[in-house]
Amino acid sequence: MVESPDTDWTDVRLHVVTGKGGTGKTTVAAALALALAAGGRKVLLVEVEGRQGIAQIFDLPPLPYEERKVAVAPSGGDVYALAVDPEEAMLEYIEMFYGMRRAGRALTKMGIVDFATTVAPGFRDVLVTGKTTEAVRRRGKNGRRIYDAVVLDAPPTGRIARFLNVTQEVAGLAKVGPIKNHSELVNGVVKSRETAVHLVTLLEEMPVQETLDGIGELRSAGLPTGCIFINMVRDSLLPQAALDTAVKARFDPGELVLGLKAAGVADGAQAVAMAEALAEEVAEHAHRTELERAERESLAGAGLKSYDLPLLADGVDLAGLYELAESIRTQGAA
């Protein structure tokens, strides 16, 4: 284990990553885990939605319900991954608290596990979050934590506050006994300063709105908000002055015609047609940039730190994942 580097989130051990579906939750969680592990640390990446997204992203066969090393971080450091299976988590739980492994198996056969997890989704959640917070708290023989950090690829923004607010969700279910004790233990970690809930968004209206709503819900539930990862950010292709002109629809295709001719790209009618098509694209690009600027302003209103992650032109392969991790590190997020 190496000393914690000085980053914006040095004291955080549990990084919960949420966001609207499709914005890059799994991708950002994986990149964050790599970034946190860089330089010789040990990080666990947990997935809870049963999609095997982590295996896919690291180009591996489906993960068993078991912590396994999935990647080596830049300049050393290991990323382990765990795909939590709620049913297995329930059996483990039954064994841990009642010493009834075999009874647990019988309960599965009888469908009671299914029953309990569908009738009481709060119970299912507390098992999954319990598994995660156990990894956060786990210590080795020397008394030191096994993992320097745990990153949770969490449910989407619309469900995150309920998912993490475990004591609330099981309150009606268990007033006393091991479930209550367990949920209070989980709650202790989730609401502590060691936890931060990060939100992934795109600079588009719907995900930004969901992000702002999510932040509001997290805050009213007393859950610790972290940062905003603005994913798939595109570089602006033109200087601001050109964009301003284009937005006001005063972009002159005539100038483009001259430019195309001068560069020897096209001539005559072809140059005119090309210039018109280009002018349209410029206007579109300018319009989008303008909308993105507005979305950025709305996000800033939430008062959280934010980091930009670039849109990777070739999609997210392993190399792309390391590129995102590097971007997270250079911005000081990890």
Ligand X SMILES: Nc1ncnc2c1ncn2[C@@H]1O[C@H](COP(=O)(O)OP(=O)(O)O)[C@@H](O)[C@H]1O
What residues line the site for ligand X (CB under 6 A)?
19, 21-27, 53, 231-232, 309, 311-312, 315-316
291 binds, among ligand X, Mg ion, none (CB under 5 to 8 A by kind): none
* Cβ at position 153, least distance to Mg ion in Å: 6
Residue 195 interacting partner from ligand X, Mg ion, none (CB closer than 5 to 8 Å by kind): none
Other C-beta atoms within 10 Å of 255: how many?
A: 11
Q: Measured at CB, which residue is nearest to Mg ion?
A: 26
C-alpha 222/C-alpha 16 separation (Å) is 15
Tokens of 154: 């969490």
Binding at 311: pick from Mg ion, ligand X, none (beta carbon under 5-8 Å per type): ligand X
Enter the tokens of residue 166. Answer: 């475990």
Give the pair of three-digit tokens for residue 210: 């969901």
Complex with ligand X: residue 77 or 155, whichever CB lies closer: 155
End-to-end CA distance of the chain: 16
214 binds, among ligand X, Mg ion, none (CB under 5 to 8 A by kind): none
Indicate the DSSP class of residue 129.
H
Residue 231 CB, nearest distance to ligand X (Å)? 5
Nearer to ligand X, 264 or 315 (CB): 315
The least distance separating ligand X from the CB of residue 215, rounded to whole angstroms, comes to: 17
CA 17 to each of CA 37, 200, 215, 233: distance values in angstroms, whole numbers, following the listed order: 16, 7, 12, 18
Specify the residue, 156 or 253, whose C-beta has the smaller distance to Mg ion: 156
Query: CB of 160: closest distance to ligand X in angstroms?
Result: 12
Which is nearer to ligand X, 53 or 224 (by Cβ)?
53
Asked if residue 12 lies in contact with residue 227, where contact means CB atoms within 8 angstroms, the answer is no
Contact 320, 57 (CB under 8 A): no
Q: Give me the least distance between CB of 325 and ligand X, in Å please.
A: 11
Query: What is the rounded distance in angstroms from the CA atom of residue 167 to the CA atom of residue 188?
Result: 10
Specify the DSSP class assigned to residue 20: S
Separation between Cα atoms, residue 212 and residue 300, nearest integer Å: 10
Q: Do 170 and 126 form a contact (C-beta atoms < 8 A)?
A: yes
Q: Which is nearer to ligand X, 195 or 231 (CB)?
A: 231
For residues 204 and 181, give the distance between their C-alpha atoms in angstroms, rounded to a whole number.
Answer: 42
Q: Which does 253 bind (CB under 5 to 8 A by kind): ligand X, Mg ion, none?
A: none
Reference 203, options 226, 235, 229, 230; nearest CA is: 230
Phi, psi of 228 (to 5 degrees): -110, 125
We find the least distance from the C-beta atom of residue 53 to Mg ion, in angstroms, to be 4
Nearer to Mg ion, 56 or 209 (CB): 56
By CB under 5 A, name the binding residues for Mg ion: 25-26, 53
Instruction: Report whether 193 contacts 224 (CB < 8 A).
Output: yes
Judged by beta carbon distances under 5 to 8 A according to partner kind, the member of ligand X, Mg ion, none in contact with residue 309 is ligand X
Q: Which does 231 bind (CB under 5 to 8 A by kind): Mg ion, ligand X, none?
A: ligand X
Minimum gap (Å) between residue 333 Cβ and ligand X: 14
- Closer to Mg ion by CB, 104 or 214: give it: 214
Residue 171 or 311 with smaller CB distance to ligand X: 311
Q: Which does 232 bind (CB under 5 to 8 A by kind): Mg ion, ligand X, none?
A: ligand X
- For residues 305, 188, 11, 75, the Cα torsion angle rounded to the nearest 10 degrees is -100
Taking the complex as a whole, how short is the minimal distance between the CB of residue 316 and Mg ion, in angstroms? 12
